[in-house]
Amino acid sequence: MKLINATIKEIRYNLKAIIILAVCFGLFFLAFMAIYDPTLFEDMEGLLEGYPEAIVQMVGQYISLTTFGGFLNVYLFSMTWFYFGFYFIIKAAQDIPKEIEDKTIDIILSKPIKRWKFVLGKYVRHVTTALILVVCSSLGVLIGVLVFPTIVPSQVFLDEIYTVFLWLFIFLVSMISTSLFFSTFLRSKRALTLSFAVIIFFYIIGIFWEAFPEAVHGMRFLSIFYYFETSNLLVNHVWDNVLLNILILTGYSVGMLALSVIVFNKRDIPV
């Protein structure tokens, strides 16, 4: 009960900012729906395929701008982690260190609340924020499908699109878990720096692994980005490994959360 109350208090404190951010992202996704026009993107598709291999790898192995799913993959889902992710890296990496540096944690931990509940409350707050942002963004896409004449609803695979939104949410949770872990034992600047460094490392080995010598290709399995490859589903409608990748990201998040709790429980914080 104390955990739930602490989480609700955290969310209420930031509710206005969360709602404003969620509405902005929803409108942002809706605005992108207005851009979609299959005939307009026919020439651009060929141009994109002629780009350097590194650019093509950034948007996924499969490209099709003339289909709605392919359009979403290139212009939204291949970069949505960037739009959302940096926000959560900054927030999650600085949350706990800021409490310690501002001495507000002294008041919190002097109350009858377990440390694991404190960490979990912070975690749930960020996860809930991610859920709100993803839901509002998905609503923006749904409204666009219904209102814009260039989008033919019968040609839109909503089950695939909303599976990818779920996938995106799980992926964002894995980024939150990574940053939260560093926040449990580092000062805010170091936690933020190391969080960005690790995420960028994950991005490089997860997206551009084919550019490295074959002997180190196995490093891709260490990256959370390797398990968020949406182009095959959105372009080719192939569901292979989608559930497996979601489960792997979920397991990673649970493991990082458990490590965060263990590390924070052992940290020396005089109260």
Tens digit of each residue's pLDDT (9 = 90 or more) over 199-240? 999 999 988 888 788 888 899 999 999 999 898 899 888 998
Using 50, 70 and 90 to split pLDDT, how confident is the model at 107?
low
Share of the chain above pLDDT 90, in %: 38
Q: Count the Cβ atoms, other than its own, within 10 Å of residue 268.
A: 4
Under 8 Å CB-to-CB from 253, ≥6 apart: which residues?
170, 173, 174, 176, 177
Per-residue pLDDT at 7: 61
Span of 22-36, 111-125, 133-147, 168-182 with lowest mean pLDDT: 111-125
Q: What is the mean pLDDT of the chain?
A: 84
DSSP 8-state code for residue 99: H
Per-residue pLDDT at 75: 79
Q: Count the Cβ atoms, other than its own, within 10 Å of residue 88.
A: 24
Instruction: Give the integer Cα–Cα distance in Å for 28 and 181.
Output: 30
- pLDDT tens digits for 56-85? 666 666 677 778 888 888 878 888 878 888
Determine contact, residues 249/173, Cβ cutoff 8 Å.
Answer: yes
Per-residue pLDDT at 106: 65
Instruction: Give yes or no for residue 271 having a pLDDT over 60.
Output: no
Share of the chain above pLDDT 70, in %: 83
Rg (CA), the chain: 20
Per-residue pLDDT at 56: 62
Instruction: Give the integer Cα–Cα distance in Å for 68 and 220.
Output: 29
Indicate the burial class of 3 (C-beta count within 10 angstroms; 0-12, 13-18, 19 or more).
Answer: middle
Angle at 197 between CA 196 and CA 202, to 5 degrees: 95
- pLDDT tens digits for 239-264? 989 999 999 999 999 999 999 999 99
Using 50, 70 and 90 to split pLDDT, how confident is the model at 5?
low
**Selection from 179, 85, 161 nearest residue 130 by Cα:** 85
- pLDDT tens digits for 34-50? 888 777 766 666 656 66
**In this structure, which amino acid lies at residue 124?**
V
Greater confidence (104 vs 138) lies with 138
